[in-house]
Chains A and B, each alone.
Chain A
Amino acid sequence: MKEAARKSVLAVGPFHPLQEEMEFFQLTVDGEKVTDINARISYNHRGIEKLSEALQFDQVPYLVSRVCGICSASHPLAYVQAVEEIAGVQPPERALYVRTIINELERIHSHLLWVGLGGHFIGYDTVFMWAWKYREPVLDLLEEITGNRNNYGNVKVGGCREDIPDELIPKINLELDELEKKTEMLTKAVLDDPVLHVRLKGVGVLTKEDGIRYAVTGPTARGSGIAIDVRHDDPYAAYADLDWKVITQPEGDVFAKAVVRLLETLESIKIIRQALAKLPKGPVAVAVKEIPPGEGCGHAEAPRGETFHYVRSDGGNRPVRHKIRAPSYVNVPSFKASCIGADIADVTLTLAAVDPCYSCTERITVVDGRNALVHDYEELLRLSREKTARIRKDLGAPEMKLEGL
């Protein structure tokens, strides 16, 4: 009991007023070191799996695109692939390409969002401003194609709702050229910055073995040297026809995850260019009448990892069971491996490195049971930024420069 009374608990969460995923972490700390972690989720459980059982098969994509505002293309895609598997439906070629393009645009804006927030957490607000500025034209393109900046609702069983008009293709290519230049500059600035090397390398390490034990996916896995990517391993949409690489980094630290996301953004630009060049002519949807009894598994590579949907049909017009697996649900518990032993000043960043929609990081309170000290989120952000400033001073490094803008 005496021992327990001396433990300090660091509470992370539970609510973020702006983002969807709410999580609550309690970190037990010994001085500056994290010694244990416990998590509580579901503060905003919306019962989507149950709601789905009350909707018809063709209504569900609009529901599941609201699972996550950022991954609102990959969830409906995984769902329709599961239903198409049950019904034995093959969407037209053009629809497969349109799906690929929308999903890669989604990956670009999601990764840029992450890079910006990652910069913000360590006190690189210039990176935050620029990354989010580059992200805007991508959202504008998505709006132009689907009608919405998020929650595109563009896939349906049998194809796509909206086509990409041929006259829009030159504009998309132009935006991609601009974006490529800026992302390359940003990537180079990160790779060359000595402060970032010291600040991010060796921080929040998730080893390959732990990554496998916790079954992580997406950049969290690829940053730990686990070369898995649904787009490559079980190709869907048009990925098998296109030339692109699965990006991996062996180190497993925050730096590795940042590098993976930046290089993936460049790969996504490559994928969209090729898809636009090869975009087949023809319709974007086939008519689907009935969904026979059966069960199907659909999965897609969302920006954060594998999105998996299981659907069971009894031959009626509604799913009798629809299971949704969002990538963060499996990636988040890997904190148990990556946070234990870390400094408090690194926790914000380690939590953010998995990209769990940040809900967890905005409201952090440190309660020191012994001294009744309370640190709030600002205090932790300050600790994180001070560490960066200290490193910068020790290295005698100048402010990071973003040139050619």
Chain B
Amino acid sequence: MLIYIAKRILLFIPTLFLVSCLAFYLKNNVPSDPVETLLSLQGIDETKAEFSEAYDAKRIEMGMNLPSFYFSIQSHYTAWLNSYEEESATKRFATELASRKYKKTDILKLISTISKLKGKEQRSLFICQKPQEIIERLDRPQLADLNDEIKLDIRIIVDGMNVNKVKWHYPTISWHGLGNQYHHWISHFIIGDFGVSLVDAQPVQRKIWSSMKWTLMLLIIGLAIAGLISIVLGIYNGVNQDSKFDRWSNSILFLFYSIPKFWFATVMIIFFTTAEYGSWTNIFPSVGDWPAMTGFFEMIYKSSNKLILPILVIVIPDVAYLSRLIRASIIEENNKEYIKTARSKGIPKRRIILSHLVPNSMIPTITLLAGVIPGALGSSLIIEVIFNIPGIGRLMFESIKTADWAIVFPIIIIVSTLTVIVFLMADILIAWLNPKIKLG
């Protein structure tokens, strides 16, 4: 049993590693530049004089100057850039040129020629991204008093560069060690430092935890109610298979199973929170702001009337899904030989159900209940958005809308971790219930 649990936990590590890699990959490919956004929150934007220095300093502080992963597979014509340790204008210049397939020797020659210039002129050339831009800038009046010799040198180098681009190329593997962005990010992540929000510079972890409480509360209440109802209903219908109640409730539940939760929620809000369709339809309080989260039970007590609708929306489709499957597993168990034997021996029906049928159909039921949780976390997003509940789903939604990527990816990792843990717990519970695994 212990070996089994240890094995399961070991298998759970690669999954989390892959999740974190995926989140990291997505984080590095977002359309906006987090450094620029964070600086603009501090009041430093591109028009300010100190921008470029502050930008470099911030990049180093955030570890963005480091290579992105433990190793990299690059083209040979960009691999030589790894030797630049510091974040600088020359490095960015060289990176831009190298990614356009200019040769290393040409780029270095160009850099050394430009470096002969004075500060301001040098800077104005190093922010160019193409050699053609440099030529265009040389003709501008700002650079008119430049040394003609250097101008000519630059022109010659650029002409040579354009003719002599990299043609054949091959991949190279370079090893970067622990000093890389992923390591920097994940080691902060593990100790609970998720960085700061790109919208209000608040610590991300605080925002996530405070909204997590809401989502977990809804999840637990919803699952407890749905589980209880569907177990009772499933067992009752399974035992009384093909009775009138079974047939009716089954087909009604099948209809409810197909109802999209967001439609259900929208219809409930439109019809039952306003007096638009007669005063009797104004049953539930309208969707508004929610009180601040304090204690778990205090919360439920305070906003209980507001919780009814969201919980109804969560519970009904879940009951429709779960009870049908629990019913099926009860029926399957009910047709087995040992139940027939028990029945023919004259054991009372009640005892057969409670001490044979229910315990033996427990294993598929637990798998089902665990399987509902990821779906519930996913649909929490839409329900929280519709009912304006400040949970993790709404935080995710609003962060995507406001391009606050610093929140989006930690949420993905946390929700995946939660899902994996739920599966793990279900597996362990099943192993504990199943004597085949427990003893073997």
A and B bind = no
Chain A residues in contact with chain B, CB under 8 A?
none
